[in-house]
Amino acid sequence: MDRKRNDKGLPSGLSERREMTANGFYEEVIIAGFGGQGIILAGKLLAQVAMEAGRGVTYMPSYGAEVRGGTANCMVVIAEEEILKVPADEIAVELGNPKVANMVALGAYLQKRGLFGADAAAKCLPQTIARRYHHTLQVNAEALHKGAETSKNI
């Protein structure tokens, strides 16, 4: 592996994972570098090209506060069909607390990936959430379960 290419022969700072799923083509691309190198532009262009080709796309840029010289990266996911989505905000509002959208999303992720169940995550909430927020344990647990339940239908 030389300094300008990674082990897959891709330019340094670019990695990808490609696989065929039950729904067809699926690829994750991470583009990383420093502000000023066009990292965000490259990811945005890739996402636009994929959308124009009729693929399902997500685009997640991330960069530091510095305009130039700070870290910059973006992740682009391209799929044959629409990428699975969870209405986390709407579910959190239905549960009476918009702040638990993160738990809805996590519950859906855990269910979809088959890593751990919502019960296991809910059991760890008391050790993870600061004591001053323990009054939210119940709604956070409900959000985890609702997210898991929702992901079964996606």
What does residue 59 show for φ and ψ, rounded to 5 degrees? -135, 120
Does domain 14-79 fall into CATH 3.30.70.580? no
Mean pLDDT, to the nearest integer, of 109-137? 95
Convert the pLDDT of each residue in 85-120 to its tens digit. 899 999 999 999 999 999 999 999 999 889 899 999
Tell me the chain's radius of gyration from C-alpha atoms: 19
Which residues have a Cβ under 8 Å from the Cβ of 20 and sit 6 or more positions away?
A: 26
User: What tokens were used for 119?
Assistant: 């019960």
Helices (H), the chain: 39-52, 88-94, 101-113, 118-128, 137-151
Residue 11 has pLDDT above 90, yes or no: no
Angle at the Cα of 77 from the Cα atoms of 76 and 83, rounded to 5 degrees: 140
Structural domain spans, the chain: 14-79, 88-151
Quote the pTM value: 0.67
Question: Is 98 within 8 Å of 89 (Cβ atoms)?
Answer: yes
Q: What distance in Å separates the CA atoms of residue 43 and residue 76, rounded to the nearest whole number?
A: 6
Running DSSP on this structure, what letter comes out for residue 29?
E
